[in-house]
């Protein structure tokens, strides 16, 4: 089976600094894959190695089966990358930028597709404007367009919505979802965890150059998050021996972490049995931010096999 | 077909879009040198028999313009792309390091030769000039613009800041071109400085180029051609090795 992206034991050292300490992962074709982690975890380094912008100290990466070093021409044709920084060439217009980028891939009669990309990304009004005159959001869209000019089956987006306003962000996600529906594999890094939770089929979490969690989004939520129960009681202390982990406790306001919904019944029973009255109750479903904080905070590792699980 | 034709086109379009600065300005500078030096020194200096000082000066100015602009093109284009970050657009596509080298050096040659031709076209209005050996002129113009294009590429790869390129231009390229015999024949120098001039590779470029115009030179033209050809081979090899290693371009 050919994976869209397959990394095997990728290490990257900059002198004494180890940016990646043996990363292995496989992204299946058609997947929407999230790569999360705090700043400096190695996300951009990993993307740079996948894209051939940087060379791994050891290990190997394949894109659609093509090694990014020994078969770089094929690997790069398969890959579209939207870089994190808002970079542009101030000498050219939007259309020139896209034509040049297309030509770099050896595609010199590509105007029909370029027009389509311009249309879909709503760049038509600015197609002949110099890149310098574009707003940040517009420049971001041109970066996406540049990554698509050669119709790559695999698209990597490195924090594509950083600093982008809400309206544009929604539009961008709609567009990228559409690409995914059409069969493109999407790999995404983002700081907005709700985005990753909403979009990604599977998620890898990186910490200090290692993968500390790699699983389907649903499994991650179930495994790590649990439920958060917020209570206000008619007293300042909780009954002893509750079947839950206390997160905060503040003069009658309590936040408790529950393993699952079964634990809810148990805890409510224990509270009532102690004679306490519940004044307010709120139940928060699992969310990825919670997963993220717990995985990053405790250093717990939960790594599923390198091969992806079946999609949910 | 790979990305080479487009990368070459992009490099040409880049300087052409700002041709007022990249072509017109250096032509004007060379013309000013001609007017000022020929007027100030015209009666007092005579390098070769049958050749006036103004005539002597023109090929030197043409070659100096070729050298400086070929260097400026590749070095400033690359450092701008590095600093603004848009180098990534050339690193992501399947462009080989040989294609990269070829496109940058060829575009630099075109810029240098366009400026050189411009200087020649403007100065022949003022100075009566005829070619003794066109092939020598072409050979030196092509080789020397390629050398400086490759040198500019090396400087662009190495530099991290604009000011390092400017320093390279002001402390290396400019003194070497000025002291290479653009404005004088090295036979007019004291023996020590004559010998020192032979250590300056730019001397052979100017002297050989000038031979193509007058059929006379300070140094045997074939030997100059050999020096220039070897320089080109060495610098190209160095540049290609740097590009292949990914030095400062792919960490």
Q: Which residue has the higher pLDDT, A180 or A291?
A: A180
The pLDDT score that the predictor gives to residue A188 is 95
Mean pLDDT across A59-77: 97
> Could you say which of 3.30.565.10, 3.90.330.10, 3.40.50.300, 2.60.40.420 is the CATH number of the domain covering A1-78+152-225+287-312?
3.40.50.300
- Give the closest-approach CA distance of B150 to chain A in angstroms: 21
State which residue of chain A sits closest to B10, comparing Cα positions.
A100
- pLDDT band per the 50, 70, 90 thresholds, residue A225: low
B89: chain A residues, CB-CB within 8 Å: 87, 89, 100-101, 104, 146
Helix (H, G, I), strand (E, B) or coil at A8: strand
**pLDDT tens, residue by residue, A146-203:** 999 999 999 999 988 877 788 888 888 999 999 999 999 999 998 788 888 899 999 9
Closest residue in A to B249 (Cα) is A53
Distance from CA of B90 to the nearest CA of A (A): 7
Nearest to A53 among B14, B17, B91 (CB): B91
Q: Which two tokens stand for residue B144?
A: 């020397």
Which pLDDT tens digit goes with each residue over A77-89? 999 999 999 999 9
Q: Residue A104 and residue B91: Cβ atoms within 8 Å? A: no
Q: Under an 8 A CB cutoff, do A90 and B92 touch? A: no
Q: Give the mean model confidence (pLDDT) for residues A269-276.
A: 87
Residue A299 has pLDDT above 50, yes or no: no
pLDDT class of A302 with cuts at 50, 70, 90: very low
Q: Give the chain A residue whose CA is nearest to the CA of B89.
A: A101
Mean pLDDT of A113-119: 95
Cβ of B89 within 8 Å of Cβ of A96? The answer is: no
C-beta of residue A33 within 8 angstroms of C-beta of residue A186: yes
DSSP 8-state code for residue A121? T
Q: What is the pLDDT of residue B207?
A: 96
CB-CB under 8 Å, B13 with A104 = no
Q: Which of B13, B89, B94 sits opposite A146 (nearest CB)?
A: B89
- How far is Cα A41 from Cα A221, in angstroms, rounded to an integer? 21
Is A69 part of the contact surface with chain B (CB cutoff 8 Å)? no
Measure the CA–CA gap between A257 and A267, rounded to whole angstroms.
Answer: 11
Place of tokens 């970066």: A143
Which of B10, B18, B86 is nearest residue A88 as measured by Cβ atoms? B86
Closest residue, chain B, to A85 (C-alpha)? B85
* Mean pLDDT lowest among A46-50, A141-145, B35-39, B169-173: B35-39
Contacts across the A-B interface (CB distance below 8 Å): 84
Q: How confident is the model at residue B111 (pLDDT cuts 50, 70, 90)?
A: very high
For residue A87, list chain B residues with Cβ-Cβ distance below 8 A: 84-86, 88-89
Q: Could you report the predicted ipTM of this complex, rounded to two decimals?
A: 0.93
Q: Which residues of B touch A91 (CB under 8 A)?
A: 13-14, 17-18
DSSP-assigned letter for residue A132 = G
Residue A166's alpha-carbon distances to A170, A173, A191, A192, in angstroms, are 6, 11, 14, 12
How far is residue B146's CA from residue B232's CA, in Å, rounded to a whole number?
Answer: 7
Query: Mean per-residue pLDDT for B4-23?
Result: 97
Q: Give the 3-state DSSP-derived string for chain B, with helices as H, strands as E and coil as C.
A: CCCHHHHHHHHHHHHHHCHHHHHHHHHHHHHHHHHHHHHHHCCCCCCCCCCCHHHHHHHHHHHHHHHHHHHHHHHHHHHHHHHHCCCHHHHCCCCCHHHHHHHHHHHHHHHHHHHHHHHHHHHCCCCCCCCCCHHHHHHHHHHHHHHHHHHHHHHHHHCCCHHHHHHHHHHHHHHHHHCCCCCCCHHHCCHHHHHHHCCCHHHHHHHHHHHHHHCCCCCCHHHHHHHHHHHHHHHHHHHHHHHHHCCCCCC
The domain locations on chain B are 4-245
Helix boundaries (H) for A105-254: 111-120, 136-148, 166-181, 193-199, 217-220
Answer for the pair A275, A180: CB distance below 8 angstroms, yes or no.
Answer: no
pLDDT tens, position by position, A250-263: 888 888 888 777 88
Q: How far is B119 from chain A, CA to nearest CA, in Å?
A: 26
Residue A251: left if φ>0, alpha if ψ -120 to 50, beta else—which one? left
Alpha-carbon gap: A14 to the closest alpha carbon of chain B (Å):
9
Residue in A with minimal Cα distance to B245? A55
Residues of chain B with a CB closer than 8 angstroms to some CB in chain A? 1-3, 5-7, 9-10, 13-14, 17-18, 81, 84-86, 88-96, 246, 250-251
Please, are residues A97 and A146 in contact by the beta-carbon 8 Å criterion? Answer: yes
Helix or strand run (H / E) with residue A258: strand A253-258
pLDDT at residue A136 above 80? yes
Residue predicted with more confidence, B50 or A224:
B50
- Among candidates A53, A76, A89 on the partner chain, residue whose Cβ is nearest the Cβ of B94: A76
A92 interaction partners in chain B (CB closer than 8 Å) = 10, 13
Q: Give the highest mean pLDDT range of A220-234, B139-153, B176-190.
A: B139-153
Residues of chain B with C-beta less than 8 angstroms from the C-beta of A81: 88, 92
Report the pLDDT averaged over residues A42-65.
96
Q: Which residues pair with A14 in a beta bridge?
A: A17
Confidence (pLDDT) at A48:
96
CA nearest A139: which of A155, A150, A126?
A126
Mean pLDDT of chain B: 94
- Ranges of beta strands (E only) in A169-252 are 185-189, 202-207, 210-216, 227-233, 245-250
Partner-chain contact B94 A51, CB within 8 Å: no
Q: Which residues of A touch B5 (CB under 8 A)?
A: 103, 108
Q: Does residue A270 sit at the B interface (CB-CB below 8 Å)?
A: no
Q: Do A76 and B92 touch (CB under 8 A)?
A: yes
Give, in order, the Cα–Cα distances in Å from A221 to each of A256, B15, B199: 17, 54, 72
- C-alpha to C-alpha distance for A280 and A232, rounded to whole angstroms: 5
- B120: buried, middle or exposed (CB in 10 Å: 19+, 13-18, 0-12)? buried
d(CA B196, CA A13): 46
Domain limits of chain A?
Answer: 1-78+152-225+287-312, 89-150, 227-285
Asked if residue A271 lies in contact with residue A231, where contact means CB atoms within 8 angstroms, the answer is yes
Q: What is the pLDDT of residue A298?
A: 55
Task: Determine whether the interchain pair B6/A73 forms a contact, defined as Cβ–Cβ distance below 8 Å.
Answer: no
Q: Which residue has the tokens 């300042």?
A: A236
Q: Tell me the nearest-neighbour CA distance from A302 into chain B, angstroms.
A: 31
Q: Give the rounded distance of the alpha carbon of B100 from its chain centre.
A: 19
Q: What is the pLDDT of residue A312?
A: 37
Q: What is the pLDDT of residues B59-82, one digit of tens each?
A: 999 999 999 999 999 999 999 999
Is A185 strand, coil or helix? strand
Residue B155 has phi, psi (to 5 degrees) of -60, -40
Query: Pick from A54, A101, A108: which is nearest to B89 by CB?
Result: A101
Q: Do A104 and B3 touch (CB under 8 A)?
A: yes
- 8 Å CB contact between B146 and B139: no
Q: Which residue's structure tokens are 């102690």?
A: A274
State the pLDDT confidence band at B175, using cuts at 50, 70 and 90.
Answer: very high
Given pLDDT bands bounded at 50, 70 and 90, which one contains residue B1?
A: low
- Res. A267: pLDDT tops 60: yes
Distance CA(B177)–CA(B195), nearest Å, equals 16
Is the CB of residue A76 less than 8 Å away from at least one CB of chain B? yes
pLDDT band at A307 (very low <50, low <70, confident <90, very high): very low
CB contact under 8 A, A104 and B251: no
What percent of chain B clears pLDDT 70, i.e. is strictly above it? Answer: 99
For the ranges A2-11, A100-109, A233-242, which has the lowest average pLDDT?
A: A233-242
Look at the block and give the residue holding tokens 């030196």.
B140
- The residues, any chain, with a CB within 8 Å of residue B143's CB and separated by 6 or more, are B225, B228, B229, B232
Find the mean pLDDT for residues B149-178. 96
Cα B111 from Cα B16, distance rounded (Å)? 9
Please, which pLDDT band fits residue A308 given cuts at 50, 70 and 90? Answer: very low
What percent of chain A has pLDDT above 70?
94
């Amino acid at each position: 089976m050919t994976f869209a992206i397959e990394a095997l034991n990728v290490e990257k050292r900059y002198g004494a600094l180890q940016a990646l300490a043996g990363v292995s992962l496989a992204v299946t074709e058609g997947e929407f894959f999230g790569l999360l982690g705090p700043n400096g975890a190695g996300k951009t380094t990993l993307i740079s190695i996948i894209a051939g912008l940087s060379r791994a100290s050891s290990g190997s990466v394949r894109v659609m089966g093509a090694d990014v070093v020994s078969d770089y021409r094929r690997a790069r044709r398969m890959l579209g990358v939207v870089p994190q920084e808002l970079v542009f060439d101030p000498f050219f217009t939007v259309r020139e930028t896209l034509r040049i980028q297309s030509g770099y891939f050896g595609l010199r009669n590509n105007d029909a597709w370029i027009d389509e990309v311009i249309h879909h990304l709503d760049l038509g009004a600015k197609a002949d404007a110099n890149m310098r005159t574009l707003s940040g959001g517009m420049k971001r869209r041109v970066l996406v367009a540049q990554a698509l000019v050669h119709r790559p089956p695999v698209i990597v987006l490195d924090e594509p919505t950083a600093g982008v306003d809400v309206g544009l962000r929604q539009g961008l996600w709609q567009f990228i979802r559409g690409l995914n529906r059409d069969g493109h594999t999407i790999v995404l890094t983002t700081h907005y965890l709700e985005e990753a939770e909403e979009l990604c089929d599977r998620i890898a979490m990186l910490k200090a150059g290692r993968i500390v969690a790699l699983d389907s989004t649903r499994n991650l939520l179930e495994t790590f998050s649990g439920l958060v129960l917020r209570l206000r009681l008619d007293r300042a202390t909780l009954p002893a021996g509750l079947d839950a982990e206390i997160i905060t406790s503040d003069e009658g306001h309590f936040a408790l972490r529950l393993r699952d919904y079964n634990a809810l019944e148990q805890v409510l029973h224990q509270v009532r049995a102690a004679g306490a009255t519940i004044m307010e109750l709120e139940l928060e479903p699992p969310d990825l931010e919670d997963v993220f904080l717990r995985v990053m905070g405790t250093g717990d590792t939960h790594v599923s096999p390198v091969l992806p699980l079946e999609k949910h | 077909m790979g990305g080479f034709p487009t990368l070459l086109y992009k490099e040409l379009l880049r300087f052409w879009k700002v041709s007022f600065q990249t072509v017109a300005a250096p032509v004007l500078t060379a013309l000013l040198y001609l007017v000022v030096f020929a007027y100030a020194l015209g009666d007092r200096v005579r390098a070769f028999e049958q050749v006036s000082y103004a005539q002597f000066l023109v090929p030197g100015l043409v070659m100096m313009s070729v050298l400086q602009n070929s260097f400026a093109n590749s070095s400033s284009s690359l450092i701008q792309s590095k600093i603004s970050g848009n180098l990534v657009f050339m690193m992501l596509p399947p462009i080989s390091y040989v294609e990269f080298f070829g496109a940058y050096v060829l575009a630099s040659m075109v810029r240098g030769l366009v400026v050189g031709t411009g200087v020649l076209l403007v100065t022949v209005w003022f100075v009566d000039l005829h070619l003794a050996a066109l092939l020598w002129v072409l050979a030196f113009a092509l080789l020397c613009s390629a050398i400086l294009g490759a040198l500019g590429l090396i400087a662009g790869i190495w530099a991290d800041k604009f000011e390092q390129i400017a320093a390279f231009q002001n402390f290396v390229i400019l003194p070497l071109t000025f002291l290479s015999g653009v404005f004088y024949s090295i036979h007019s120098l004291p023996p020590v400085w004559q010998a020192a001039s032979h250590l300056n590779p730019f001397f052979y470029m100017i002297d050989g180029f000038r031979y193509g115009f007058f059929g006379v030179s300070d140094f045997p033209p074939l030997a100059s051609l050999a020096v220039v050809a070897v320089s080109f081979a060495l610098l190209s090899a160095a540049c290609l090795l740097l590009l292949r290693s990914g030095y400062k371009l792919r960490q």
